[in-house]
Amino acid sequence: MRKINILLVDDRAEGLVTLEAVLNSPEYNLVKAASGQEALAHVLTKDFAVILMDVQMPEMDGFETASIIKQREKSRNTPIIFMTANSKADHYVSIGYSVGAVDYILKPFDPHILKSKVAVFVDLYKKNSQLQDQTEFLRDIERRDRLRTLRELEMEGRRRYQNLADAIPQIIFRASPVGDIDYFNQYWLQYTGKSIEESSGKLWKNVVHPKDYPCIEENWKSHKLSQKGFECECRLRQTRTGEFRWHLLRVVPEFNLTELVGWIGVITDIQDQKAVQQELLLAKTLADAASETKSRFLANMSHEIRTPLGVILGFSELLMDPKSSHQEKLESMGIIRRNGQQLSKIIDEILDLSKVEAGKMDVDKTDISVLDLFEGIKAFMNLPAKEKGLELEFHVDGKIPTKIHSSSIRLQQILVNLIGNGIKFSPKGKISVTLSHTQLSETEEPRLCVKVKDSGPGLTWAQIEQLFQPFTQVDTSMTRKHGGTGLGLALSRTLARAMGGDLTVSESNPGEGCEFVLSVATGSLEKVPFVDSLEPQKKPLEKQEEKKTLVLKGLNILLVEDSPDNQFLVKRFLTMEGATVDIANNGVEGVSKARAGEHDIVLMDIQMPELDGYGAITQLRQGGYKKPIVALTAHGMMEERQRCLDIGSNDHLTKPVNRVALIKRIHELSEEAKLQQPEAKLPQPEA
Sign (positive or negative) of CA dihedral 636, 638, 639, 645:
positive
The set of residues, in sequence order, having a beta carbon less than 8 Å from that of 525 and lying 6+ positions away, is 401, 404, 446
Cβ-based neighbours of 610, under 8 Å, separated by 6 or more: 586, 587, 588
Stretch among 113-122, 262-271, 534-543, 630-639 having the lowest mean pLDDT: 534-543
Q: What is the DSSP string of 133-148?
A: HHHHHHHHHHHHHHHH
Average pLDDT for residues 498-521, to the nearest whole number?
86
Average the pLDDT over 129-154 and give the result: 84
pLDDT at position 189 is: 83
Whole-angstrom Cα distance, residue 88 to residue 172? 80
* Whether pLDDT at 684 is above 70: no
**What are the start-end ranges of the H helices in 24-110?**
36-45, 62-71, 89-98
pLDDT computed for residue 432 by the predictor: 92
Q: What separation in angstroms does the CA of 307 have from each of 298, 313, 346, 463, 553?
A: 14, 10, 11, 26, 40
CB < 8 Å & 24+ apart, contacts of 30-34: 30/6, 31/5, 31/6, 31/7, 32/8, 33/7, 33/8, 33/9, 34/9, 34/10
* Distance, CA of 371 to CA of 667 (rounded, Å): 26
- Give the 3-state secondary structure of residue 552: coil
Q: Is the pLDDT of residue 236 over 60?
A: yes
What pLDDT does residue 440 have? 67
Task: List, for residues 54-75, the tens digit of each pLDDT value.
Answer: 888 888 988 898 889 888 888 8
Q: Tell me the C-alpha distance between 270 and 281, whole Å.
A: 16
Eight-state DSSP code of residue 553: T
Q: Tell me the C-alpha distance between 578 and 585, whole Å.
A: 22
Please tell me the distance from the alpha carbon of residue 334 to that of residue 298, in angstroms, as a whole number.
28
Q: Are 514 and 508 in contact, with CB atoms under 8 Å apart?
A: yes
Q: How confident is the model at residue 87 (pLDDT cuts 50, 70, 90)?
A: low
What is the pLDDT, as a whole number, of residue 603? 93
Q: Are 124 and 116 in contact (CB under 8 A)?
A: no
SS3 content of the chain, % helix, strand, coil (to 5): 45, 20, 30
Burial category of 406 from C-beta neighbours within 10 Å (exposed 0-12, middle 13-18, buried 19 and up) = buried
**Distance set, CA 411 to CA 355, 363, 498, 506, 570 (Å):** 17, 10, 11, 19, 29
Mean pLDDT of all residues belonging to the chain: 81
Task: Give me the mean pLDDT over the 504-510 stretch.
Answer: 81
Distance between start and end Cα atoms, the chain: 123
| 311: enclosing H helix or E strand | helix 271-319
| Residue 686 confidence class, pLDDT cut points 50, 70, 90 | very low
Please name which of 623, 679, 636 lies closest in space to residue 602, comparing C-alpha atoms: 623
Which residue type does 681 have? Answer: K
Q: Is the pLDDT of residue 483 over 50?
A: no
Q: What is the rounded distance in angstroms from the CA atom of residue 419 to the CA atom of residue 433? A: 8
CB 434 within 8 A of CB 418: no
Mean pLDDT of 34-62: 90
Q: Which of 456, 375, 377 is nearest to 421 (CA)?
A: 456
Name the DSSP class of 524.
-
Peptide linkage before 678 cis (omega within 30 of 0): no
- The per-residue pLDDT for 628 is 93
If you compute the radius of gyration of the chain from its CA atoms, what whole number of angstroms results?
46
Are the C-beta atoms of residues 588 and 564 closer than 8 Å to each other? no
pLDDT the model gives residue 480 = 42
By percentage, how much of the chain surpasses pLDDT 90? 17
Q: What is the pLDDT of residue 322?
A: 81
- Close Cβ partners of 144 (under 8 Å, ≥ 6 residues apart): none
Answer yes or no: is pLDDT of 680 > 50: no
- How far is Cα of residue 490 from the mean position of the Cα atoms in its chain? 23
Residue 154, pLDDT score: 67
* Residue of higher predicted confidence among 178 and 562: 562
SS3 label, residue 433: strand
**pLDDT confidence of residue 685:** 46
Least confident of 351-365, 501-515, 565-579: 351-365
Instruction: Summarize the confidence of residues 221-228 as an average pLDDT.
Output: 83
| pLDDT score of 482 | 47
553 φ/ψ angles, rounded to the nearest 5 degrees:
-60, 130
